[in-house]
């Protein structure tokens, strides 16, 4: 399987999934059939760094488990819990163990999590962390000293298409690009129309790095409402919540939404522009999606089903 960075730079349609590390001390064990599917589709897997500030294993352990299984990890690293010295140390250790792709995040505040009394660090923002990775790739530390040798990371960033107004989010995404973001993954989107609107906004501000359109496998209206109320940065449209409420098979309805978005993204990527536009509009079409990021709360077999087996 070619590395994620190579496939992204060559213009392949790329797919990423998610892995939420366990809350206990047991090692991550991946189902053999799922591993085969992940490798067949060339799926890289985001290993989360305590999303919503809820306690879990450090992301590096499961990332190494993925590497050992022949699946490429994308290591999430946040500025919430560690200062600049610890962040650089973790990056060096990750590189030594074989990790080559990182997703740089500021991190959800501890007040959202299961240890609300924990002291947040936030020494570095996501943009500052991206700049640290860029410097390490050039062989220097944040303090300006030399590394024994440069790292070779591809660093990505997150962007939230649901924020209103959207302009501040787009300007932050541009800042992340200037700091060194080589790709973006979006928070969940649930329709091609919303993806088109977001990519049009991206094009208007000149964001040039590849964008993976994110989506999420919803299972119920209750899950959608919980995400709206409790998960920072996620907005499930009222029409989607209503559809889940009406459906006799809410999980199937949720997978159908994700499948439709994946199929649209594949078609738009293959066409070289956002699908559904006339030839007249082609010259002003936004950049094609580079791929999709399918979030599932560890239901990776369902992700494979959405992708077609």
Tell me which of 203 and 59 has the higher pLDDT.
59
- Cα(151)–Cα(148) distance, integer angstroms: 10
Q: What pLDDT was estimated at residue 286?
A: 55
Give 53-97 pLDDT, tens digit per residue.
Answer: 999 999 999 999 999 999 999 999 999 999 999 999 999 999 999
Quote the Cα angle for 75-167-297, to 5°: 35
Q: Residue 96's Cα: distance from chain center in Å? A: 23
| Residue span of the structural domain in which 98 resides | 4-303
Res 276 pLDDT > 70: no
Q: What pLDDT was estimated at residue 298?
A: 95
Question: Sorting pLDDT into bands at 50, 70 and 90, what band is 231?
Answer: confident
Flag whether 46 is in a domain.
yes
Question: Sorting pLDDT into bands at 50, 70 and 90, what band is 281?
Answer: very low
Res 284 pLDDT > 80: no
Flag whether 30 is in a domain.
yes
Mean pLDDT of 278-292: 64
Q: What pLDDT was estimated at residue 190?
A: 96
Res 279 pLDDT > 70: no
Query: Whose CA is closest to 48, among 77, 81, 90?
Result: 77
Query: Whose CA is closest to 69, among 100, 97, 38, 96?
Result: 38
Q: What pLDDT was estimated at residue 233?
A: 83
Number of domains in the chain: 1
Flag whether 309 is in a domain.
no
User: Strands 211-216 and 183-186: what pairing?
Assistant: parallel
Contact predicate 30/71, CB 8 Å:
yes
CATH code at position 121: 3.20.20.220
Give 10-52 pLDDT, tens digit per residue.
Answer: 999 999 999 999 999 999 999 999 999 999 999 999 999 999 9
Give 155-199 pLDDT, tens digit per residue.
Answer: 999 999 999 999 999 999 999 999 999 999 999 999 999 999 999
* Average pLDDT in the chain: 93
Mean pLDDT of 281-308: 84
Res 275 pLDDT > 90: no
Q: What pLDDT was estimated at residue 277?
A: 42
Omega before 305 cis (within 30°)? no
Mean pLDDT of 231-236: 89
Q: What pLDDT was estimated at residue 285?
A: 53
Give 143-156 pLDDT, tens digit per residue.
Answer: 999 999 999 999 99
Q: What pLDDT was estimated at residue 218?
A: 97
For the whole model, what pTM was predicted?
0.93
Q: Give the number of C-alpha atoms closer than 13 A to the C-alpha of residue 200, restricted to the C-beta side.
A: 14
């Amino acid at each position: 399987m070619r590395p994620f960075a190579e496939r992204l730079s060559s213009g392949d349609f790329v797919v990423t999934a998610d892995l939420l590390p366990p809350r206990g001390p047991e090692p991550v064990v991946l189902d053999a059939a799922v591993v085969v599917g992940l490798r067949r589709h060339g799926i890289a897997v985001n290993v989360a760094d305590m999303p919503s500030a809820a306690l879990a294993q450090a992301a590096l352990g499961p990332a190494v488990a993925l590497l050992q299984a022949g699946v490429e990890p994308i290591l999430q690293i946040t500025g919430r819990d560690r200062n600049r010295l610890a962040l650089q140390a973790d990056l060096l250790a990750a590189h030594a163990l074989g990790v080559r792709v990182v997703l740089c995040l500021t991190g959800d505040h501890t007040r959202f999590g299961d240890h609300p009394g924990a002291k947040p660090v936030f020494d570095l923002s996501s943009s500052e962390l991206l700049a640290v990775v860029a410097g390490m790739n050039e062989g220097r530390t944040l303090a300006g000293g030399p590394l024994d040798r440069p790292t070779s990371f591809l660093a990505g960033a997150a962007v939230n298409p649901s924020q209103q107004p959207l302009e501040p989010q787009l300007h932050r995404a541009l800042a992340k690009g200037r700091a060194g973001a080589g790709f973006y993954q979006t928070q969940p989107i649930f329709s091609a129309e919303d993806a088109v609107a977001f990519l049009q906004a991206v094009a208007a501000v000149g964001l040039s790095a590849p964008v993976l359109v994110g989506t999420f496998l919803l299972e119920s209206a209750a899950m959608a409402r919980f995400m709206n109320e409790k998960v920072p940065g996620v907005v499930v449209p009222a029409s989607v919540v209503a559809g889940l409420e009406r459906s006799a098979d809410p999980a199937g309805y949720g997978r159908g939404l994700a499948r439709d978005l994946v199929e649209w993204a594949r078609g738009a990527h293959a066409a070289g522009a956002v699908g559904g536009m006339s030839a007249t509009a082609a010259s002003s079409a936004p950049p094609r999606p580079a791929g999709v990021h399918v979030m599932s709360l560890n239901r990776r077999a369902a992700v494979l089903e959405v992708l077609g087996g």
